[in-house]
Amino acid sequence: MTKRLLRFPLWRKLKNMTGFQVFLILFLTLLSIFMMLPIIYLFNHAFKPASELFKYPPTFMVDHPTLKNFSDLILATKSSAVPVTRYLFNNIISTSLTVLVASLFSILCAFALSKGKFPGKNLLFSTIVISLMFAPETVQIPRYFVISNLGLIDTYWAHVLPLVAMPVGVFLMKQFIDQIPNEMLEAARLEGANELRLLTNVIVPLSLPAVATVAILSFQGAWSNLETSTFFIEDETMKTLPFYVLTLTSGLGNSVARQGVAAAATLLMFIPNLVFFLLLQRKVIDTMMHSGIK
């Protein structure tokens, strides 16, 4: 039996590990399972019938899964004056624009701060780092005045512009670009490459893990964003899906009605974030390893 187990590479690796390494692997495995519990609960909660949603004591796993919550969600959307597909379309457009523009600005800003030479560079980077401490509510009024004075109320750019500035994205990109040797850039300049070509042919290909991380962060911030539809959009046909889901579930904190709809809508809003993260999660790990985050 032992000889058969030794044929498997995983078993051979475990056999060569110390007791502490085996303990660490088991501990991290248990910790990862524990951290997955909210996701498992979210999926189970969406498929619970009304009798299980209000069962006491509450149950973690669903006993009799049903699709009624999702059918009720579809019926609720049919009574809306604006089709739910319009909210979904607005959400996809605004999120896509936000990811593209926020990633582009983060790359440009990080490249200048990392490899550029200009007065006040360190002060500017320190200001960006300090801005990480500010809560979004502190800049809500200035954001509104900027959007209003630019005439962007009831436009897609009202969804995009407030989310373009990403201090955490600039920080991650800058720390990652710092790892790229200056000698490589100088060699490219000697070959005749200008700054734009350096950015597109050298910096971006070598910084793809950081770019993917910034894309994930901007996607998560834009896909579930309620602020822009609430404060910058008055036209109902320009609002996004999270706002519509909020209208379906608002005021239900102490109500029995539509709790199943709320559970189904929450799951549908969560799935795109989960899929997007799973597709790019390896890049996120590479970014954390090379961005100076300990």
Of all residues in the chain, the percent with pLDDT exceeding 90 is 5
pLDDT at 99: 92
The model's pLDDT over 74-88, given as tens digits with 9 standing for 90+, comes to 777 776 777 778 888
Average pLDDT of the chain, as a whole number: 80
Domain that holds residue 50: 2-72
Looking at 20, 37, 72, the residue that finishes a domain is 72
What is the reported pLDDT for 98?
Answer: 92
Q: Nearest 5°: CA angle at 147, between 143 and 153? A: 130
Q: Are residues 60 and 87 in the same domain?
A: no
Give the per-residue pLDDT at 254: 47
What pLDDT, on a 0 to 100 scale, did the predictor assign at position 260?
78
pLDDT at position 131: 82
Evaluate whether 283 touches 209 at the Cβ level (below 8 Å).
Answer: yes
Q: How far is Cα 125 from Cα 121, in angstroms, rounded to an integer?
A: 6
What's the token pair of residue 13? 């690796």
Regarding pTM above 0.75, the answer is yes
Comparing 67-81, 180-194, 213-227, 273-287, the range with the smallest average pLDDT is 273-287
Q: What is the structure's pLDDT at 46?
A: 84
- 72, 93, 122: which is the final residue of a domain? 72
**Is the bond leading into 57 cis (omega within 30 degrees of zero)?**
yes
d(CA 210, CA 68): 41
Q: Are residues 34 and 99 in the same domain?
A: no
Phi, psi of 119 (to 5 degrees): -65, 140
pLDDT at 250: 64
Determine the length of the chain: 294
* Residues 63 and 91 both lie in one domain: no
Same domain as 262, residue 171? yes
Residues 86, 27 within the same domain? no
Same domain? For 171 and 283 the reply is yes
Residue 205's pLDDT band, with cuts at 50, 70 and 90, is confident
Which CATH number do you get for residue 274?
A: 1.10.3720.10
| Of 254 and 183, the one with more pLDDT | 183
Of 256 and 69, the one with more pLDDT: 69
* Cβ atoms of 280 and 215 closer than 8 Å: yes
Question: Is the pLDDT at 1 greater than 50, yes or no?
Answer: no
222 and 270 share a domain? yes
Confidence class of residue 288 from pLDDT cuts 50, 70 and 90? low
pLDDT greater than 90 at residue 97: yes
Under a CB-based contact definition with an 8 Å cutoff, are residues 213 and 149 in contact?
no
- The pLDDT confidence band at residue 5, using thresholds 50, 70 and 90, is very low
Which tens digits make up the pLDDT trace of 229-284?
Answer: 888 888 888 898 888 877 776 654 445 567 777 788 888 888 888 888 787 776 66
Instruction: State which of 29, 47, 72 marks the end of a domain.
Output: 72
**In a shared domain, residues 90 and 68:** no
Total tally of structural domains belonging to the chain:
2
Whether residue 118 is found in the same domain as residue 60 = no
Residues 116 and 101 in one domain: yes
DSSP state of 179: T
Residues 6 or more apart from 28 whose CB is under 8 A from it? none
Same domain, 39 and 184: no
Verify that 110 and 64 share a domain, yes or no: no
Output b/e per residue, 74-110; b: 16+ Cβ within 10 A.
eebbeeeeeebebbeebbeebbebbbebbbebbbebb
